[in-house]
Amino acid sequence: MTEGERGTEGGADLHEERLGALLDEAETRARGDAGIDVEAFVDSHADFADELRELLPLALGLRAPLDARETERGRHGRFGPFELVIGVGASALAVGMGTVYLAHDDRLGRDVALKCLRSESANDERFLERFRREARATAQLSHENIVQLLDADEFDGTPYYTMRYVEGTTLEDWLAAAERSGEARRRRGGDSSAGSGASVLARSPAELGFADIAALVRALADAVAHAHDRGILHRDIKPANVMLDPTGRPLILDFGVCRAEGERDLTGTDFVGTLRYSAPEQLNGAADERSAVYGLGLILYELLTLRRVWRGKETSELVLAVRNEEPRRPARIDRAVPPDLETIARKAYAKLPEERYASASALARDLEAFIQGRPIAARPPSALYLVRLFAGRHRGLCATALVSLVALAALGTSYVLDVRAERTRRLAEAYSARVAAAQAALALGETSSALHHLEEAPAELTDWCWRNLRARADQALE
């Protein structure tokens, strides 16, 4: 809009209307899962840049007035003892109930990350207690892969705490940039090596060796285990809550949805976390360390495939996917993915908690074994797991299949009347289980697994059902 247009009454009204709409949009995005990069938002609306730089910090949660001014570091403001960088070269990131700023602590003469409770949350006791709990939880943790808390207090009625300032980018932004650029998905060479030795951020995700990927997720698993050993469970493990510093070291952020042992849940809802990265049991309000392992498994999946899990699915589809679907196997997206690393990932993000690693430490040990070239403890999904997963997705079909399998078991029994009754029963049960597992594996696109179960079925009981499944598996391989 030109100055002349802005000078007219109608033009001024239109300008104010558009500015209000932009502020509303920023607040809506700030409440979303991904938050908002304030500086990027300002840059994308150049006609309103000056006004947005002045108003957004207030709109996104600071109740204290900002004494904004220009310096060589950019546009600054004040919040108690902190000088905030709210403009050129810096961003405020609004996520959930808090807003995080790059700030300078005048008392100690250092830059910090300042997190303040957003104004609309400050009058809600649930959010106040959750914010305080986040500070308490983070204060208990001292690990090289968890951002360190420095201080916690209040200013002018607004709670805040400060953390060590970390330059870098989030894992989500790093992966998203690679996906947008359309980089090749396949990595070169034997990727059990330790990589080039260069910083992770100096390379694109597609250039990482598989040992680099395993080492990155192992570091996160060690950090989750450290927190759990101290009674702290992070319930929102996802790429957006992982920061990569300039050396490529990953650091876990945002313990705002953690839960300490012995503390009641203060969220006011059953579900806690981010739907896309939540374990199935979290949809019912349950969570333990295996739920965090699930989130780590999906991070490993996205690093291996360079694809966002469940991409393109809307909320209703996401719920069904989280409950019943397994992501497409990493090796089907990139054939270079080592079988052991795929097995580790699939065990970590298994739908059933009992099929996952029992702890983040167990996951870290298997990732270390892969890096060192030693045997891993994990094994590919069991036949029982595949059948149960298939049953969750196709309850009606399974009811029909169960009737067929019962009939099949009876047929198998009559076929071997000359064999002792106990052996007959065991053979029929084994045959039925193998055929059911093969059928489930085919439905999930696991052709190799289906062929394995068919080959393991007692040969003397094979009939039309076995032959039909074998023909379907052979056709899928063509």
Residue 383 to residue 117: CA distance in whole angstroms: 48
Query: What's phi and psi for 150, nearest 5 deg?
Result: -110, -40
Helix (H) or strand (E) holding 292: helix 289-305
Closest CA to 71 of 55, 88, 56, 59: 88
Phi-psi region of 105 (alpha: psi -120 to 50; beta: other; left: phi over 0): beta
Task: State the CB neighbour count (10 A cutoff) for residue 394.
Answer: 16
Structure-block tokens of residue 156: 């002018």
Task: State the CB neighbour count (10 A cutoff) for residue 59.
Answer: 19
Pairing assessment for the beta strands 82-85 and 93-95 based on DSSP bridges: unpaired
Counting Cα atoms < 13 Å in the Cβ hemisphere of 185 gives 17
Structure-block tokens of residue 288: 């333990």
Q: Which residues pair with 82 in a beta bridge?
A: 79, 105
Mark whether 111 is an active-site residue.
no
Residue 250 to residue 216: CA distance in whole angstroms: 7
Residue 422 to residue 401: CA distance in whole angstroms: 24
What are the E-state strand segments in 17-120? 36-37, 69-71, 74-79, 82-85, 93-95, 98-105, 110-117
Map tokens 């239109």 to a residue: 14
- For residue 309, CA distances in Å to 139, 293, 295, 333 come to 32, 15, 11, 12
Catalytic residue among 236, 254, 334, 366: 236
- For residue 416, CA distances in Å to 413, 426, 427, 436, 458 come to 6, 11, 9, 21, 12
Q: Which residues pair with 251 in a beta bridge?
A: 243
Residue 122 to residue 128: CA distance in whole angstroms: 6
Residue 299 to residue 297: CA distance in whole angstroms: 5
Counting Cα atoms < 13 Å in the Cβ hemisphere of 82 gives 29
- For residue 174, CA distances in Å to 91, 200, 208, 212 come to 17, 10, 12, 15
Query: What's phi and psi for 394, nearest 5 deg?
Result: -135, 65
Active-site positions read 236
